[in-house]
């Protein structure tokens, strides 16, 4: 017995050979293994955080600031088109389409319709490649292309060209279709197109002016309105009449009261009264304005309507 105890005294604490027969003896070490793995993963994540969290997807760029130049043109009734004529391209129509395409489309879609125009270089998604027949947003049938010209595709940065006469839009589409293989234009498709857009009836075309000129006019009008409001505020501040007193006592923003009054374009007391009742705060008034009687409201309205303030 003593000899046996002596032998056990010098026995290895862990018999690695016995592990092959009884692997569960390592279970007590598993917590240490797990802890080491977690620490290693944590160190890797911290060191690689920039690479791990980086976004490899290209951002989608919508050209919010882009504009399509609109010519100066007087509006009026546009004549109905003969679908039998405009649906059959001829050399003159294709030449007209090429001219219009160069003026309105080539800057983004490229001279040869490859979607490589200079103005479209920064757009995401890129402008339509007219040679490629797949993955069209609206489709590549004739009617689909007409819809795109009529309505545009805002999410893709494609502007609408509804101001271009119907016959000219047909010419553009016919020319674009020379860049590749396209579905044949059928009589039923043409009929549906007429049903949706009333192509065979006269349509009213509004007056158009160039975008830059429109911006200039709107800016001038806005600046004039700001100056008028500023002048009116000085007048009201010094005015002790009942109308001015009611305005000052029942407004949280006289500037907004004057601005919204001008924008409403209302010369009718009943209409303006209903607008104020429905959204007093949005019009720059305090809630107390709702407690005024009709006579007091009329006094305040007449004061606002006075062009001398």
Please check the confidence at residue 24 and state whether its pLDDT lies above 80: no
Tell me if 112 sits within 8 A of 176, measured CB to CB: no
pLDDT of 57? 53
Parts of the chain belonging to CATH 1.10.760.10? 76-205
Query: Hey, what are 42's tokens?
Result: 């944590």
Query: Hey, what are 5's tokens?
Result: 């105890």
**CA-only gyration radius of the chain, Å:** 37
Average pLDDT for 6-11: 51
pLDDT of 7? 53
* Host H or E run for residue 172: helix 166-176
Chain segment 87-122, per-residue pLDDT in tens: 999 999 999 999 999 999 999 999 999 999 998 888
Tell me if 158 sits within 8 A of 204, measured CB to CB: no
pLDDT of 30? 65
Burial class (CB in 10 A: 0-12, 13-18, 19+), 283: buried
Chain segment 114-149, per-residue pLDDT in tens: 999 998 888 888 899 999 988 899 999 999 999 999
pLDDT of 6? 52
pLDDT of 16? 60
Query: Hey, what are 256's tokens?
Result: 């907004």
Residue percentage of the chain with pLDDT more than 70: 80
* 202 phi/psi in degrees, rounded to 5: -65, 140
Residue percentage of the chain with pLDDT more than 90: 36
Chain segment 47-62, per-residue pLDDT in tens: 776 665 655 555 554 4
Total-model pTM: 0.49
3-state percent helix, strand, coil for the chain, nearest multiple of 5: 60, 5, 35
- Specify the range with the lowest mean pLDDT, choosing from 42-56, 79-93, 142-156, 192-206: 42-56
Burial class (CB in 10 A: 0-12, 13-18, 19+), 118: exposed
Query: Hey, what are 237's tokens?
Result: 């501040």
- Specify the range with the lowest mean pLDDT, choosing from 37-41, 204-208, 269-273: 204-208
pLDDT of 70? 67
HSE at residue 168, side-chain half, CA atoms within 13 A, is 14
DSSP H helices, 205-241, are 211-238
Tell me if 235 sits within 8 A of 306, measured CB to CB: no
Please check the confidence at residue 283 and state whether its pLDDT lies above 50: yes
- Specify the range with the lowest mean pLDDT, choosing from 128-132, 187-191, 211-215, 237-241: 211-215
Please check the confidence at residue 65 and state whether its pLDDT lies above 50: no
pLDDT of 2? 54
Homologous superfamily in CATH for domain 76-205: Cytochrome c-like domain (1.10.760.10)
Chain segment 217-244, per-residue pLDDT in tens: 888 887 888 888 888 888 899 999 999 9
Distance between CA atoms of residues 215 and 241, nearest Å: 39
Please check the confidence at residue 78 and state whether its pLDDT lies above 80: no
User: 56 Cβ partners below 8 Å, 6+ apart?
Assistant: none
More confident residue, 113 or 15: 113
């Amino acid at each position: 017995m003593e000899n046996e105890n002596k032998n056990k005294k010098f026995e290895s604490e862990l018999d690695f050979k016995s592990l092959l027969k009884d692997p569960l003896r390592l279970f007590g070490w598993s917590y240490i293994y797990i802890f080491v793995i977690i620490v290693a993963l944590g160190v890797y994540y911290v060191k690689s955080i920039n690479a791990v969290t980086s976004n490899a997807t290209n951002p989608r760029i919508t050209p919010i600031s882009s504009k399509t130049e609109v010519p100066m043109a007087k509006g009026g009734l546009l004549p109905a088109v003969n679908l039998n004529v405009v649906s059959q391209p001829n050399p003159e129509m294709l030449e007209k389409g090429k001219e219009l395409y160069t003026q309105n489309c080539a800057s983004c879609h490229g001279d040869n319709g490859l979607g490589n125009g200079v103005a479209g270089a920064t757009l995401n998604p890129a402008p339509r490649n007219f040679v490629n027949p797949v993955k069209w947003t609206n489709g590549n049938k004739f009617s689909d292309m007409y819809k795109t010209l009529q309505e545009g595709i805002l999410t893709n940065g494609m502007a609408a060209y509804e101001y271009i006469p119907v016959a000219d839009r047909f010419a553009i589409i016919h020319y674009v279709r020379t860049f590749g293989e396209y579905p044949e234009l059928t009589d039923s498709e043409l009929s549906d197109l007429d049903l949706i857009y009333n192509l065979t009836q006269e349509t009213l075309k509004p007056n158009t002016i160039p975008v830059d000129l429109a911006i200039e006019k709107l800016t001038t009008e806005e600046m004039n309105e700001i100056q008028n409001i500023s002048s009116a505020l000085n007048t009201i501040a010094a005015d002790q009449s009942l109308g001015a007193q009611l305005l000052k006592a029942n407004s949280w923003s006289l500037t907004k009261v004057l601005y919204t009054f001008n924008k409403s374009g209302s010369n009718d007391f009943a209409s303006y009264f209903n607008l104020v009742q429905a959204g007093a705060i949005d019009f720059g008034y305090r809630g107390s304005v709702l407690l005024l009687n009709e006579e007091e409201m009329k006094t305040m309205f007449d004061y606002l309507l006075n062009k001398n303030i």
